[in-house]
Structure 1
Amino acid sequence: HGYAERWNMDWRWDWVKEIKDELLSSKTKENLCVIAIDWEKGAREINFITAVGNADIAGQHVAEFIQNNNIDPKLLHCIGFSLGAHLCAFASNNLFIISNKKYKFARITGLDPAGPLLRKASIDKRLSSDDADFVDCIHTSATFGLQEKSGHMDFFPDGGNSNAQGCEKLLHIKDDYDVKKRYNIKRLFFGESQKEDLDSSESLPEKSFIEKLRDQIGYITPLKDVFLNVHAYIGCNHLRSPHYFISSIHKCIFRAQLCSSWSDYLLKKCIDPIDNDLTYPRMGYHADQSDPIYRHGNGSFFLKTISKEPYCSHSL
């Protein structure tokens, strides 16, 4: 998981559990064992610089766990979101060191690898194609994620720079932030203009108070809901990468195209024709089934998505 998260989140979408369940579902043919790495204490540091350092420490512990339990690194696929993507790199690099340069992970998937403070970092301080036999990345946010190439295959759905289909709708959050808000002792938001009319409602039971508020201003929002709405808007593009990965396991074929830029992709100027004889590039879980020329070419791949789940126009 990423910065300020934990492996089993109860305050918003629990994407870690959903990936785990999807991987272990009956449709998955391979025999899989899923290990969820919970580094909550290190990830919830207010200081992001400290959290990055904690990710490195957590990576050391992961490497030691792998070696102490005789887990074959060639069977390991580390899936990391945001700062967790770099944790995968730290773990693989630490394993390489403690194994006397014998082993590193077979595969790392970076789900919108964290960008703040890491955009100008050297490749040994962040996720790169050197960190595993195969590294694939899904870039979805220019605000919180890296736009720099970080793997053997870098996917940029809808351009990868905060243009995910459907996220723009969250600009219209249900709360009217143009109306000045006031937070009263009932832990409820209401419009400043209704203050005098509502003073008489303070003695009402909470249920009646809420009903009176709803009648007068048409909405009522607890503080937690406001936070979640703002979080959903700010983090929508960033969190879209786990959505894409989950959909790619059983539901979607995210067919991409090798191209020099998003603008060239839109203008159909890609140097790689989509109707060639190669096994086409696939974003997500099945990226390793793409043609070897793509898997080891350090290319950038572009594709369009749709606004509703499972976000693809081609289903499995």
Structure 2
Amino acid sequence: MIVFRLVITSLAFLLLPIWCYVITPFGSNAARAAPNVSTVVFELFTRFNPTQAQILELDNLQALEQSFYDPSLPTKFFAHGLHDGPGAAYSSRDAYLQREDCNFIAIDWSVLASGIEYPIIVERDVPRAAVHTGQFIDFLVGNTGAPFESIHLMGHSLGAHVVGGAGAAVTLGRIPRITGLDPAGPLFSLNETDTRLDTTDGDFVDIIHTNGGTLLHDQQGFLPPIGHVDFYPNGGQFQPGCTANHIKSTGQERGACDHARVVTYFVESINSDVGFRAVECETQVDFEAGLCADNVAVLMGDPTPSSARGIYYLATNDKAPFALG
């Protein structure tokens, strides 16, 4: 049963002025015909080029064949969020390449994500980037023989909806795992699953919430559970360490700090010795009261098993290393 707090927040999302904007469903003709989608490119990094990107593009077979892409290795995709760029993926890139030999692809949709009108980006540009990415995955698989089973899509904020739409847009197979890192909440409806990341986009969808709520409270993420498994570190709205002193020293706004912290948690989880242990629980209040200590526990982040289901809570440190085990 979804807890009262999540229900109230869900209603808040439904009451946002979504009806003012027609959100284009992923894969629609309007999204495919939109101009400038060719600005979405894909930065490939491997252990042969760990910091120097090789640029891959949809239907550019020559660039793909001349790259270090190895279809026998796991392939990780990461999509950045609003007003960001591929550099937002580099900490994840470094952690993965440190741990294993893999293909890491940073989805650069920064031209589409840099607009000043958020509703237009949600309505028009997220679906364009999503469909283009799905088509690129088909192009990659079709020309290299890479198995879909080796693909993991990750996205932060609006990027979570980009990779969700990409999972819905692929035609040659199914994406086995999609990770949503504090998926953007404003102007996305709980009921309109065609326009946001949801459980139909991949075989396993795991979500980490760090700044869920509404813009009225400077919260940028989606609070209600939308994955096969949803994690709520520190309650999923405000993160320890995002204090007034931190905000003053970094120049970040409060919500931006909480919203970005999810990427830091995920990156740490890739190589953590102790991990982010989370327990299944109905509410943060029950978790803090110790009522869920004996419940099912799983690790949040990269090690999350695909069998995980439900809502999980955990606490973190207020500075790195954040994982408490």
Task: Give the TM-score normalised by the residue count of structure 2.
Answer: 0.68
Whole-Å Cα distance in 1 between the matches of residues 196 and 177 of structure 2? 15
Which one of 258, 261, 264 corresponds to residue 240 of structure 1?
Answer: 261
- Please report how far the alpha carbon of residue 268 of structure 1 lies from its aligned counterpart in structure 2 after TM superposition: 2.1
Q: Is 2:50 the counterpart of 1:50?
A: no
| Structure 2 counterpart of 1:239, one-letter code | A
| Structure 2 counterpart of 1:267, one-letter code | A
Whole-Å Cα distance in 1 between the matches of residues 277 and 255 of structure 2? 27
SS at match of 1:130: coil
| Structure 2 counterpart of 1:259, one-letter code | C
In structure 2, the residue matched to 1:62 is 133
Q: Is 2:265 the counterpart of 1:254?
A: no
In structure 1, the residue matched to 2:318 is 307
Is residue 119–residue 146 contact of structure 1 (8 Å, CA) maintained in 2?
A: no
Which one of 79, 89, 101 corresponds to residue 16 of structure 1?
Answer: 89
In structure 1, the residue matched to 2:225 is 149
SS at match of 2:236: coil
What 5-or-longer segments of structure 1 have no aligned partner?
9-14, 175-227
- Please report how far the alpha carbon of residue 312 of structure 1 lies from its aligned counterpart in structure 2 after TM superposition: 1.5
Whole-Å Cα distance in 1 between the matches of residues 211 and 255 of structure 2? 10
- Please report how far the alpha carbon of residue 172 of structure 1 lies from its aligned counterpart in structure 2 after TM superposition: 6.7
Whole-Å Cα distance in 2 between the matches of residues 253 and 158 of structure 1? 15
Whole-Å Cα distance in 2 between the matches of residues 127 and 260 of structure 1? 22
- Please report how far the alpha carbon of residue 2 of structure 1 lies from its aligned counterpart in structure 2 after TM superposition: 0.3
- Please report how far the alpha carbon of residue 273 of structure 1 lies from its aligned counterpart in structure 2 after TM superposition: 1.5
Is residue 211–residue 255 contact of structure 2 (8 Å, CA) maintained in 1?
A: no
In structure 2, the residue matched to 1:211 is none
Is residue 140–residue 157 contact of structure 1 (8 Å, CA) maintained in 2?
A: yes
Whole-Å Cα distance in 1 between the matches of residues 97 and 205 of structure 2? 22
Q: 1:145/1:301 Cα in 2 relative to 1: closer, same or farther (>3 Å)?
A: same
Q: Could you say what the CA RMSD is over the residues aligned between the two structures, in angstroms?
A: 1.8
Q: Max radius of gyration: which structure?
A: 1
Q: Is 2:280 the counterpart of 1:269?
A: no
In structure 2, the residue matched to 1:167 is 242
Is residue 247–residue 254 contact of structure 2 (8 Å, CA) maintained in 1?
A: no
In structure 1, the residue matched to 2:149 is 74
In structure 1, the residue matched to 2:202 is 132
Is residue 170–residue 233 contact of structure 1 (8 Å, CA) maintained in 2?
A: no
Whole-Å Cα distance in 1 between the matches of residues 287 and 203 of structure 2? 28
Q: 1:172/1:145 Cα in 2 relative to 1: closer, same or farther (>3 Å)?
A: closer
In structure 1, the residue matched to 2:304 is 287
What 5-or-longer segments of structure 2 have no aligned partner?
1-79, 213-218
In structure 2, the residue matched to 1:5 is 84
Identity %: 32
Whole-Å Cα distance in 2 between the matches of residues 286 and 171 of structure 1? 29
Q: Report the count of equivalent residues.
A: 234
Q: 1:37/1:172 Cα in 2 relative to 1: closer, same or farther (>3 Å)?
A: closer
Q: 1:303/1:94 Cα in 2 relative to 1: closer, same or farther (>3 Å)?
A: same
- Please report how far the alpha carbon of residue 247 of structure 1 lies from its aligned counterpart in structure 2 after TM superposition: 0.5
